[in-house]
Amino acid sequence: MQKLSPVRRVITSTNEAGQSYIAEDGPSPAILTLDSRPGYQNANLWRTHPGIAGGISPDDITEHEGVLPPAGGTVLRVIDFPPTPSDPEELRRQHAIVFETMFRDARHQPDNPRHAGMHITATVDYALVLRGEITAIMEEGETVLRAGDVLVQRGTNHAWANRTDEIARVAFVLIDARAHP
């Protein structure tokens, strides 16, 4: 299994003279990996907050925790999915670690008969397959997504499986859909 190159994050800004420029160009400062799941990588790239003047959020992605975006905001991340283990116990163990360490705020259902990674979040997600192929598993049915495909996940119970021998890379934009006072 070949490891993929880091996701390049290019951030623009406006200087004191009102001119646009490239403020940052390089890998994300917020990359999460798990020794117990080789090849799995979560690169959080940006998040937004509601009510920011001019709509320009600060670069505070290193403070982000969990799967959910800030209340009323968004989060952009790219996840590298290694091939799914064929052993059901290893699959269960790997997903338990991901949800116990990285994504504690998702409603994970480890005993779901469809897949050990079934979970649900109060978000609308745009999943853009950048490389490889990934299977989107629903409570009823599933579909294979390939590079260039986009899935709109609307707060539904779901899981992901990479049934190939290569790493799949998927970009996710999560938009908060929780009710707020």
pLDDT tens-place string over residues 30-74: 999 988 898 999 999 999 888 765 567 788 999 999 999 999 899
Structural domain of residue 56, as residue ranges? 29-176
- Over residues 106-116, the mean pLDDT reads 95
- Over residues 78-95, the mean pLDDT reads 95
CATH label of the domain that carries residue 138: 2.60.120.10
Q: How many domains does the chain have?
A: 1
C-alpha–C-alpha distance, residues 152 and 79, integer Å: 16
On the question of pLDDT at 138 being above 70, the answer is yes
Phi, psi of 160, rounded to the nearest 5 degrees: -125, 140
Amino acid 54: pLDDT: 55
More confident residue, 100 or 18: 100
Which range scores top for mean pLDDT: 3-7, 26-30, 53-57?
26-30
For residue 12, tell me if it sits in a domain: no
For residue 105, tell me if it sits in a domain: yes
Amino acid 97: pLDDT: 94
Q: pLDDT of 124-136, one tens digit each? A: 999 999 999 999 9
On the question of pLDDT at 79 being above 90, the answer is yes
**Cα 25 off chain centre by:** 20
For residue 11, tell me if it sits in a domain: no
For residue 1, tell me if it sits in a domain: no
Give me the chain's average pLDDT, please. Answer: 91
For residue 54, tell me if it sits in a domain: yes
Amino acid 181: pLDDT: 63
Amino acid 52: pLDDT: 67
3-state secondary structure of 154: strand
The whole model's pTM is what? 0.86
Q: Are strands 168-176 and 123-131 parallel, antiparallel or unpaired?
A: antiparallel
C-alpha–C-alpha distance, residues 56 and 113, integer Å: 43
For residue 78, tell me if it sits in a domain: yes
- Over residues 151-180, the mean pLDDT reads 93
Show the tokens assigned to 84: 């799914």
For residue 157, tell me if it sits in a domain: yes
69 contacts 174 by C-beta, under 8 angstroms: yes
Query: Sign of dihedral through CA atoms 37, 34, 160, 162?
Result: negative
32-53 burial, b for 16+ CB within 10 Å, e for fewer?
beeeebebbbbbbbbbbeeeee
Closest CA to 178 of 128, 138, 129, 120: 120
For residue 66, tell me if it sits in a domain: yes
Show the tokens assigned to 54: 């001019």
DSSP E strands, the chain: 8-14, 20-27, 30-33, 41-48, 74-81, 107-108, 119-120, 123-131, 133-137, 142-146, 150-154, 159-161, 168-176
